Structure 1
Amino acid sequence: MMFTRGDISHDIDEVHNHANPTTDIEIVDWDGPRDPGNPYNWSLLQKWTMTILASFTTFITMMNGTIITVAHEAINEEFGISDASFPNSYWPVASWALGGACFVILILPLMEDFGVRYVFLFTWLAFICFVIPQAVAQSFATLVVTRFFAGGCVSILANTSATVTGNIWDSEKARNIPVSLYIIGYVAGSSIGPVIGAPIFQFLSWRWIGYLQLIWLGALFPVYFFLFKECRGIAILGKRAKKLREQGRLAYTQHELDSEGSSMWRIIVRSSTRPVIMFFTESVVFVSVMWSSFTIGTLYLFTQSVEQVFAGLYGWSAAQCGYVQGAIVIGEIIGWAASLFSAKLYFSSASRNKEVPGTPIPEARLYLAIVGGIFGLSGGMFIYAWTSYPDLPWIAPAIGLGVVGAGSVIVVTGISDYIVDSYAKYSGSAIGIAACGENIFSAFVPLAAMAMYSNLGFQWASTLLAFISLALSFAPTLFIVYGKEIRARSPFMREAMVERKNSFDTV
């Protein structure tokens, strides 16, 4: 599969000097529409095996970001860190999220040229290497620095699920449930970290949080090594072309020929700059990124505010505060079930589409997301805010947490689906900048939690977040009203509309 640009240039020059290039160069492609090597033609068992493996990867690796938060007091005591004037104990999580923001833009594009399997397996091993210092760190700085690289590894592993889904499921209807599994794994993985970390910390020690992760990550690696297959089409074809070249035939894939003269550095630069350009020039991308980022940032903020609120109101320990965050995960599961209804609204919109008849309206993906944002995120935050009184039972603010959890999944699912449908082949860039934004918000928004909840009070701090969420939830209604005009002004979305029409016509 691997080749050098110089090899291709040399071979092509030889063909131009000695033969007719149209007859001597073999373009390696699929052996017809039913080629069993094409991931789109894999059996349902193979497809679902890959989908479940990828979704579980997202879930179990995202957990690493927040699982350590329940042990912040013990870590502070061991390393002499103080949270008296600033939540310094959150820096290991902030650095983890910043690592994710950097790596998701710079490293993830490597899967485009090298395929999924080898990048995935190498990153898994690298992730294990960076989890080791989280268990044996002898200084706070070691913890912060190594978690930066661990977060970078997780950004690649977690987003592999989205890549796998696009590589093996060939239609929007087929991708609906696999994409929703990726979203629930992504969101619930972050939220369940404190829930899993709580009993480990309570009955063992904070270092065992790292030890146990090493045990299950190491035990799972052989499973992925044998079951996680290459599913990137150009990588599979590239391997076939390499075998043919070893037989003396001048065989290349179209991707190899198109990439001739492009260095890996150029590929990375192109892949990393387009998301930034889209963020500043595409209103849909800008609003979607801000909405999604604030939603994920709020979930990470709960790792700080929940302990502050429940310890302050009910005198709970850090472990107990970790357990109660299970309400968020329960809400997220409910939200995942509700988000499946969004697909019905989306596909039924095809009968109303006058712009491109026969194809669903992209903005229909936002119908349920807006409802989830208003009544889920905002409504849940209002409940969490105004039930935060010591004379009310703990279940009351916990219900608010659950409602926020449900809204978060509905919103993130709607945004992800909308971006993919609106930007087609450019959706990877839009999703990439969204993931970057989510990591940046996850790194910095929770740092303000302690000051907000101390200075504004439990009620008004959560109310402020609720109003921000409410404003962000209403903003996408402009896309529903002016969607046609917005698409007409965007060169990316115009091209996507043509591709989507062709795909539905083919079906």
Structure 2
Amino acid sequence: MVHGHEKEQGKTLARTPEDSLQANDPDNPFNWSPTKKWSVTLVACYVTFIVGFNATALTAAVNETNAQFHISDASFPHSVWPVTAWNTGGALAPMVVLPIMEDYGTRPGYLITYFLFVIFVIPQAVAQNFATFIVCRFFAGCCGAVLQDAMDGIIADIWAEATQRSLPVSCYVFALLAGVSIGPVVGGAIMESLSWRWIFYTQLVIYGGSAPIVFLIFRETRCPIILSRRKKRNHQHPPELDDANPNTPNTAKHPIPLTALKAFLASNILRPLLLLTTEPVVASFTLLSALSYGLLFLATQSVPQVYAALYAFSEPSTGLIQASIVVGEVLGFLACASIGDPYFARASAGTARILGGPPQLPEVRLYLAIPASFIGLAGGLFVYGWTAYADVTFWAPAVGLLLVGFGSVVVMQAIMMYITDAYAKYAASASAAVCFGENMAAAFLPLASQSMYSNLRFHWASSLLAFVAVALSCAPVVLVWKGRAIREKSPFMREAMVG
């Protein structure tokens, strides 16, 4: 979900644009008007939302695509490969593409990626064989995930204060999750009267119609790029960028390509892997966030199994049932915006109290995630599993899905903000590790749905996931309890606190 710039100690998420633009410079994105900031933020959120349709809408037409491409799920869930391919591309591409966008500008990279994404949707609509379809799904996932994950850097570029970033991040997380959750709903509605290819034709209409909006409103947010272009307009020689820190000008020569490659691999591949394997906080939060995100994709497979077997729902109708997840995500967003974000603002200002004393930063970010993970994720899975009986109304399991949707938004927003605050200048690497885990869970967890819900049956399959959620939900509890001690023992977080 999140990649971005490495964060300097202080209140900025990434780096201080003052290094390249003066603090009072009107071109400095931190100084943009609220209208301009929100225009760019909301357009990027909108793109994040509609891109999610492509990831999951097809799951409402599995029977039709299986017949079209002559594949069977009898021995293996081959129909899940389109989802797996999309998310596998989404796990790999951002680690390579986003750093390049940081060096050469967010706007050109964003617009080119959007164009390529639309191009790769076209063959999905007209593909005549399964191999072509899967390859195009992979590359569409590469482009789609870059568009989604670029959101973190965009927020970093234009919102300076931690309190200012809370609502934009909540909007981003909601757009990300609601987009993939509403995909089966849109697909199910289309399948009620049209063929499966219209799922992609409809997407092409949406993406094509949205292109002028994206092109006209989306602006460059990278300060070094803005400065470089301004110097070119004024016929001045733009400063070179330091490859070790592309956010600041550098008059020295660029390092030789081998050195640059080593720095690129260390920053974007090796450091996230190191954090994932040596930092318990990153490892536990990667698992919890991966479960939260993966459950939304697992639902695209388990809901048709449960509702077709127990309630004789048609495949398109099971897609519509997943609207309950979207309702839960809306409630989760409202909880973050009306409870979590204002409380963090009061805690930052020193006016909030809990148990008679001031709350501890940045652990205050996790307060709302604790009930959301235990009640939303774990509780929702238990409800989804143990109300799945033919003589119980079909609305009962849908309530469980609603709770899962609520928990996923709150938990993932809290994890994103906590890692940003706690890991400071290493936030991008920690976030990259979490993002990789999320996409891999979304890619491969749905493959387990058919065998898990067939062998364990509906009740215990969901219960198994619920028990995993209960165990992982202890992570934010431990951090709220022992957060300061854990941060002092972590070399990465300790260095982030020092500077």
1:144-183 → structure 2 map (5 Å cutoff): 144-183=134-173
Separation of aligned partners in 1, 2:230 and 2:367: 44
Q: Does 1:56 align with 2:50?
A: no
Deviation at 1:478, TM superposition (A): 1.9
Partner in structure 2 of residue 339 of structure 1: 336
Q: Does 1:221 align with 2:211?
A: yes
Alpha carbons 1:381, 1:465 under 8 Å: kept:
yes
Change (3 A) 1:437 1:31: closer
Q: Does 1:268 align with 2:258?
A: no
Partner in structure 1 of residue 279 of structure 2: 282
Partner in structure 2 of residue 445 of structure 1: 445
Partner in structure 1 of residue 5 of structure 2: none
Deviation at 1:489, TM superposition (A): 2.2
Alpha carbons 1:110, 1:268 under 8 Å: kept:
no
Alpha carbons 2:20, 2:223 under 8 Å: kept:
no
Q: Does 1:233 align with 2:230?
A: no
Separation of aligned partners in 1, 2:21 and 2:298: 51
Residue 255 of structure 1 aligns with an amino acid whose one-letter code is P
Separation of aligned partners in 2, 1:156 and 1:251: 27
Partner in structure 1 of residue 63 of structure 2: 73
Q: Does 1:312 align with 2:312?
A: no
Q: Deviations over 1:8-44 (max 9, x none)?
A: xxxxxxxxxxxxxxxxxxxx96564211000000111
Equivalent residue for 2:72, pick from 75, 82, 106: 82
Q: Deviations over 1:99-132 (max 9, x none)?
A: 0011122222112211210110010111011111
Deviation at 1:333, TM superposition (A): 0.3
Change (3 A) 1:306 1:259: farther
Alpha carbons 1:104, 1:435 under 8 Å: kept:
no
Equivalent residue for 1:211, pick from 189, 197, 201: 201
Deviation at 1:224, TM superposition (A): 1.3
Alpha carbons 1:105, 1:433 under 8 Å: kept:
no
User: TM-score, with normalisation over the residues of structure 1?
Assistant: 0.88
Separation of aligned partners in 1, 2:256 and 2:102: 13
Residue 112 of structure 1 aligns with an amino acid whose one-letter code is E
Alpha carbons 2:386, 2:459 under 8 Å: kept:
yes
Change (3 A) 1:447 1:141: same
Alpha carbons 1:276, 1:433 under 8 Å: kept:
yes
Alpha carbons 1:96, 1:147 under 8 Å: kept:
yes
Partner in structure 1 of residue 10 of structure 2: none
Equivalent residue for 2:183, pick from 173, 193, 200: 193
Partner in structure 2 of residue 12 of structure 1: none
Partner in structure 2 of residue 37 of structure 1: 27
Change (3 A) 1:259 1:387: farther
Deviation at 1:485, TM superposition (A): 2.0
Deviation at 1:386, TM superposition (A): 0.9
Larger radius of gyration, structure 1 or 2? 1
Partner in structure 2 of residue 372 of structure 1: 372
Separation of aligned partners in 1, 2:322 and 2:117: 26
User: TM-score, with normalisation over the residues of structure 2?
Assistant: 0.89
Separation of aligned partners in 2, 1:177 and 1:45: 15
Q: Which moves more between the two structures, 145-154 or 426-435?
A: 426-435
Change (3 A) 1:258 1:68: farther
Change (3 A) 1:240 1:138: same
Q: Which moves more between the two structures, 419-428 or 257-266?
A: 257-266
Alpha carbons 1:287, 1:476 under 8 Å: kept:
no
Q: Deviations over 1:349-368 (max 9, x none)?
A: 45489xxx999511111111
Deviation at 1:250, TM superposition (A): 7.5
Separation of aligned partners in 1, 2:100 and 2:117: 17
Deviation at 1:491, TM superposition (A): 2.8
Q: Deviations over 1:178-204 (max 9, x none)?
A: 110000001111111000111112211
| Sequence identity percentage | 44
Alpha carbons 2:20, 2:227 under 8 Å: kept:
yes
**Structure 1: runs of 5 or more not aligned:** 1-27, 500-507
Deviation at 1:159, TM superposition (A): 1.3
Separation of aligned partners in 1, 2:396 and 2:238: 69
Deviation at 1:271, TM superposition (A): 1.9
Q: Which moves more between the two structures, 418-427 or 329-338?
A: 418-427
Deviation at 1:274, TM superposition (A): 1.4
Alpha carbons 1:384, 1:462 under 8 Å: kept:
yes
Q: Which moves more between the two structures, 30-39 or 216-225?
A: 30-39
Residue 432 of structure 2 aligns with an amino acid whose one-letter code is G
Separation of aligned partners in 1, 2:420 and 2:395: 38
Deviation at 1:258, TM superposition (A): 6.7
Change (3 A) 1:85 1:409: same
Deviation at 1:475, TM superposition (A): 2.6
Alpha carbons 1:310, 1:316 under 8 Å: kept:
yes
Change (3 A) 1:155 1:262: farther
Separation of aligned partners in 2, 1:426 and 1:31: 23
Partner in structure 1 of residue 403 of structure 2: 403
Alpha carbons 1:346, 1:360 under 8 Å: kept:
no
Deviation at 1:238, TM superposition (A): 2.3
Q: Deviations over 1:197-252 (max 9, x none)?
A: 111122111111111111221121122112111011121122234445x45x5755
Partner in structure 1 of residue 298 of structure 2: 301
Partner in structure 2 of residue 419 of structure 1: 419
Residue 300 of structure 1 aligns with an amino acid whose one-letter code is F
Alpha carbons 1:79, 1:140 under 8 Å: kept:
yes
Partner in structure 1 of residue 124 of structure 2: 134
Report the secondary structure of 1:108's partner residue. helix
Separation of aligned partners in 1, 2:275 and 2:326: 32
**Structure 2: runs of 5 or more not aligned:** 1-17, 242-247
Alpha carbons 1:348, 1:360 under 8 Å: kept:
no
Alpha carbons 1:68, 1:209 under 8 Å: kept:
yes
